[in-house]
Structure 1
């Protein structure tokens, strides 16, 4: 119950770039005024790539997914969260969020809770044009039991 309340109260989405940025075949560094941290290990870095998929029919989810897969191959984007003596690697492995006429790529990894990072680097093998970078801590967390062996499971949304 404590974990649920912590996630519910302290979860948030933080915009890391004030305006859209472009990354052309290389590393882009973001120095943060205030450090970011994870409320849950399900936190992630989100890249709003909506501006790069504008030619698709936003009423056709399959068309959007095909275009995202074509434009952003799995493994083509990685990031590092950098803090005092702590580096955490994140990778885009095909996770995509689509909704409200927005398209986000999700970079995930083993994210430690209660660690602060004050710099983010993004390394891309492809050109990223006019993207926004966000840090997301999940808003809702539901705990349940697995019927087979009574183990705990978590659902983040």
Structure 2
């Protein structure tokens, strides 16, 4: 791949990669750094990029993996700091917490089961199975924008119903 081809690739996918990173990290600077790191890695792989079916899919996977690594490091650092500040003698959830978690899962499962089938499938594929939009598109035959819209609508319904149920039980 020539430098010009790589520059065109960067221009064509950088927005999508940034959006993916920002959705996972929620931080502009970390998202930009992640995308930049992925482009550096891709450039280092320059000679073998042609062997990949979809360079964009590879880049999205690399961004996703790098974001997961960052989140793990942040979570580990936070948990270590919290443990130092507030040591717990028992790290297992209390019976009350266990009961609340089970009740929350039952409620969410009920809400999801009541969704229209297209929303239910989209939520299952994305949030439960962890599939990418591209993978969901391959399974369902829907275009990616339709999947994004359906997922957004489904999540809003779930959020609204969950909030309503929680407020009724207080």
* TM superposition score normalised by structure 1: 0.23
Structure with the greater alpha carbon radius of gyration = 2
Name the structure, 1 or 2, with higher relative contact order (CA <8 Å, separation 6+): 1
Q: Which has the higher helix share?
A: 2
Q: Which has the higher strand share?
A: 1
